[in-house]
Chains A and B, each alone.
Chain A
């Protein structure tokens, strides 16, 4: 962030007039204001845009920025830009084509006796905006932020620890978070004080992580209930069986009653997502009768024999049972 050209940040040419600069700033400020845009990255962008506007909206600081580049605050009044460039300070080009970075190890010193505290300058930036408009507010707390937290069904079931990376002052910062077991899709996890930074000593906002349970090939989660498919052979479905089914918490046994058709839902009470504050969800195993793509000669003979003796017609208007 520190190296970007202020004109590039605002998306205006170096020849832009004050109105164009203000228009660009207002538009970007509305997009990235931390109360409008909850993305943690937006705060850095907003600070960047505000800093660029602070400099370019003032004719004097803009002139100095054009002459000396990013280091203009460290250049005392009255320094000739051409002389400054000759010292190899990095400004070099008089602004129009940008400036090169200072070669490693090369320092330019001006003994002015003036110390510039960039933190103070930056920290006061928010207040500074209001200062122009007649500031009557005190320290300003940081805004709350939101970020999405993608979780697999298994991660949401078990909970646990995870390290996430958040944008921070142009870089990034890691954050260790605890995911409660049984977190629901769309649930907000609050991390107090981890949101936007406050100004003037005020406290930071909160960061809300919004749990997003990702698609799973086997499970479908609705609230705390988990739905799974339960493939059965025709004989298991007709005669009943006890079969194993995978759940997010491990394997469970399902007792299939005789005469279960496809679509029947068998409930395993309490086998859904856990609930730290109450009853866990249920697991619903939905019967899906599968048949082999090809039959052996013996299987074919027996199926044909079954078809001859069975009076079952699933397409009849009654309960499917017809007299032979």
Chain B
């Protein structure tokens, strides 16, 4: 089984927010009104933000450092530990998944996640007419489970899934073409779209993969390493 992992090279990242937009379109993330957004209810599975907001003018002068943040897909995720109903779980391939059909909306996972990657559906999701025409039809459906870009009901938690539906589609395609599944067949939308080619995706357990080699880089670091969550999203320092 592959152990999916993502490398984000901050040296190459131009903070264009393309990953954020690709993610939204791919995963049907609801768009909230500006007033709701001001309340802190915007949903950004893949968020892009400047690291030091207090430095006035840093963005204009090009001095600001940016961070792009998908779900860390931790090896020891604090969120799945606390879920009372196993609505969120770590699958065999190291992806932290979320089952919208089982989630009871207690939000214990959202307060337990130190990275703030989990989002709650405060209302029934809504899209402007232009957006609504482009709802991704993909979803991951199982017995008693609903995952992936499937339109979420209100009152449940959602999060980045490394585009789990793309993995399912890639597997199905390799089966249809009667060949072995290759890790290169599967890539999340944010990685595919990345303007600066700053994102890499692959199997961390394969010593020959790009991600496992980049993970050895001296520039490699993990967010909140001290929290003991062992993220599988690994950053490369600038410079």
A binds B: no
- Could you tell me which B residues sit within 8 Å of A by CB distance? none
- Could you tell me which A residues sit within 8 Å of B by CB distance? none
